[in-house]
Amino acid sequence: MFNKTRIKVRGYHLDLFQHVNNARYLEFIEEGRWAFFDEFFDKDDWMQQDLVWPVVNININFKSEANFGDLLEVQTHYTKIGNRSITMKQTIINVETNTPVVEADVTYVCFSKAAKAAIPFPDDIRQKVEQSIAEFE
């Protein structure tokens, strides 16, 4: 599965240099992940489970600046699944110029609220993620 989420750069996204502040890109990619999850998971099943998905690592590379009024597209897909962790690739593209703005790898874990620990992925989720990775390749 591959999700595309569009975000228009607003004035409150800008820093003193009048381009998007680096911290805002973390918010943009988070919005992209939530949009991805909206499509990937059944909301009722997901929220009734004991599981949460904390981010444990973000590696972000800034490629070019974005400015007021730019239309950005956050592209999100799974790239790797381990026993307890999963990695997504997220790319932010300037829609008008087709220029990469940000590339990020985000890793999170399957975490049991009851056990208060990372746990192996349930089989149904693992299969769905593996299928999504295979479809994208």
Confidence of residue 51 (pLDDT cuts 50, 70, 90): confident
Query: What is the percent of the chain with per-residue pLDDT over 90, rounded to a whole number?
Result: 79
Residue 103 scores a pLDDT above 90: yes
Catalytic residue numbers, as ranges: 15
Residue 52: what pLDDT? Answer: 87
Residue with tokens 């239309």: 71
Mean pLDDT for the chain overall: 92
Weakest-pLDDT range from 29-33, 71-75, 76-80, 126-130: 126-130
88 touches 106 (CB < 8 A): yes
Average pLDDT over residues 93-108: 98
On the CB side of 122, CA atoms within 13 Å amount to 11
State the CB neighbour count (10 A cutoff) for residue 46.
Answer: 15
75 touches 90 (CB < 8 A): yes
Domains and CATH numbers, the chain: 3-136 (3.10.129.10)
Residue 70 scores a pLDDT above 70: yes
